[in-house]
A = this chain, B = another copy of it.
Amino acid sequence: MLRHRRTSCRLTAQLRGTLARAARAPHCERWSHEVEMSVQNPREENMDAIDRRAFMKAAAVGGIAFSICGAQGPLTEARAQGAPLRSAAWPNRRLLDLLKIEHPIVQAPMGGHVSPNMPVAVSGAGGLGSFPCALLTPAQVLDEVPKIRTQTPKPINLNFFCHAAPQRHEAIESAWRQRLAPYYAEFGVDPPASPTRTLGPFGEEMCDVVIELKPEVVSFHFGLPNKSLIDRLKAAGCKIFSSATTVTEARWLEDHGADAVIAQGIEAGGHRGMFLTNEPASQVGTLALVPQVVDAVRVPVVAAGGIADGRGIAAALALGASAVQMGTAYLLCPEARISTYHRAALKSAGDNLSVITNVLTGRPARVFMNRIARELGPLATGVPSFPLPGAALAPLRAKAESQDSAGFSALYAGQAAALGRELPAGELTLKLAAEALQRLGMLGRAS
């Protein structure tokens, strides 16, 4: 394997030797021909015979290939050897330097879908692993997170919601149950009682737990908690991330203390992070959103939505993002906690099988289209506040799943789900990094 070394060398001999090795490196087939063309006449100290343009091309290619060859197949080996320059090839280091991580890949937290082993694997591979805590109690967080900490010394992210506690309107909830009544009848289940307690947003008690655990990153969805909580987290050394779906939200997050903004494009699976707008129709695609957010804020921007392979990562960096956040791409990993229905849907995913619907949880979220979203939505009015509709659907979901139907299940997925691969999360992270570095090298190469 080729490695950068800070050693002096005799140029032409060593350079051409390097190029020759690059040509033989198994992970550089794409460039081998060009490199071989350039080193076909390796006379010492004299390259008269080599066309200048070809040489310059090869030199550029060779320079790029160093990064790529190191990154592609044998990244694991490279890391085992502690090769410190592996991540030096990334064109934007803002998030890497902020967090002291190797690759600009944030594994998205995905409430209820991530085992502690996933962030262990992702962070271990040099990305930023995330553990979703939004659906957990403080006690559960205290129980789960140490399982991660004991397995990796690398930075991790804990994720929370900061939605407004749901406003209860018995009239709305009752009317919604009425709209579901034909389904309750069809499946022979009783309408559930209106829940007395619902998922609460991030608060003081959870903040105490987080400060005890000291994750390097705390990320939020649906805005940010109040300033005193943010101040406490920052005083504990946590970097604060949150999602923006518009430029206005991105500016708000920066103004309220975010150390990085996740620009969540419309392609993203799961809940829209929107918190200053409630208008799904004007939500923005990732390709359009990211550069506008980059222009609007000074903090690093993490692109999210529709990114599932190295091409998407390279594209996000081209747009000015400092990193990407990828969720759906990790759902086929063995470390994901998903149902057999969810797994089957992901494995047969197409580009346009998902929709943004609010009928499953009360907030717009991208899921695979299913019966309830088709028949009542995808975007309905008169839906109870988040997360109340989930409880109303629970008995229908259970009964339908017992009949092998996901017609009432929230199978979260982004629009690049079809690009997903069934790999362990660490291996996937390294593969994604290698693909992206290869793609970046190709882009920078004059043809």
CB of A323 to closest CB in B, whole Å: 14
Interchain CB contact (< 8 A) of A11 among B5, B46, B354, B355: B46
A222-261 residues with Cβ-Cβ distance < 8 A to B are 245-248
Residues of B within 8 A of A88 (CB): 446-447
Cα A282 to Cα B355 in complex, Å, equals 5
User: Would you give the 0/1 interface string for A275-310, flagging 1 where the beta carbon is closer than 8 Å to chain B?
Assistant: 001010111111111011100000000000111110
Cα A60 to Cα B265 in complex, Å, equals 33
The answer to the question of A440 belonging to the interface, with a C-beta cut-off of 8 Å to chain B, is yes
Residues of B within 8 A of A282 (CB): 352-355, 369
Scoring A245, A281, A314 by chain B CB atoms within 10 A of each residue's CB, the highest score goes to: A281
CB of A160 to closest CB in B, whole Å: 25
* Contact A318–B439 (Cβ < 8 Å): yes
* Contact A8–B48 (Cβ < 8 Å): yes
* Contact A447–B291 (Cβ < 8 Å): no
The answer to the question of A351 belonging to the interface, with a C-beta cut-off of 8 Å to chain B, is yes
The answer to the question of A444 belonging to the interface, with a C-beta cut-off of 8 Å to chain B, is yes
Residues of B within 8 A of A315 (CB): 287, 314-316, 318-319
* Contact B285–A266 (Cβ < 8 Å): yes
* Contact B447–A9 (Cβ < 8 Å): no
Contacts A60-B59, A312-B287; A442 near B305 (Cβ below 8 A): no
Interchain CB contact (< 8 A) of A351 among B64, B67, B91, B292: B292
* Contact A305–B285 (Cβ < 8 Å): yes
Cα A141 to Cα B10 in complex, Å, equals 65
* Contact B64–A446 (Cβ < 8 Å): yes
The answer to the question of A179 belonging to the interface, with a C-beta cut-off of 8 Å to chain B, is no
CB of A355 to closest CB in B, whole Å: 5
Residues of B within 8 A of A266 (CB): 266, 285
The answer to the question of A320 belonging to the interface, with a C-beta cut-off of 8 Å to chain B, is yes
User: Count of A residues near B, CB < 8 Å?
Assistant: 96
Residues of B within 8 A of A134 (CB): none
The answer to the question of A78 belonging to the interface, with a C-beta cut-off of 8 Å to chain B, is no
Scoring A91, A311, A418 by chain B CB atoms within 10 A of each residue's CB, the highest score goes to: A311
Residues of B within 8 A of A293 (CB): 351
* Contact A443–B446 (Cβ < 8 Å): no
Scoring A53, A314, A316, A320 by chain B CB atoms within 10 A of each residue's CB, the highest score goes to: A53
Residues of B within 8 A of A18 (CB): 56
Interchain CB contact (< 8 A) of A415 among B7, B288, B309, B414: B288
Q: Whose C-beta in chain B lies nearest to the C-beta of A317?
A: B443
* Contact B285–A352 (Cβ < 8 Å): no
Residues of B within 8 A of A83 (CB): none
* Contact A309–B281 (Cβ < 8 Å): no
The answer to the question of A340 belonging to the interface, with a C-beta cut-off of 8 Å to chain B, is no
Residues of B within 8 A of A442 (CB): 91, 444
Can you show 15 pairs from A to B with CB atoms below 8 A apart? A6-B53, A7-B51, A9-B47, A10-B46, A12-B12, A56-B63, A59-B63, A60-B444, A91-B442, A281-B356, A288-B308, A288-B414, A291-B419, A293-B351, A443-B444
Further pairs besides A9-B47, A93-B447: 9, Cβ < 8 Å = A59-B60, A89-B446, A266-B285, A281-B378, A282-B353, A285-B305, A287-B305, A311-B320, A317-B443
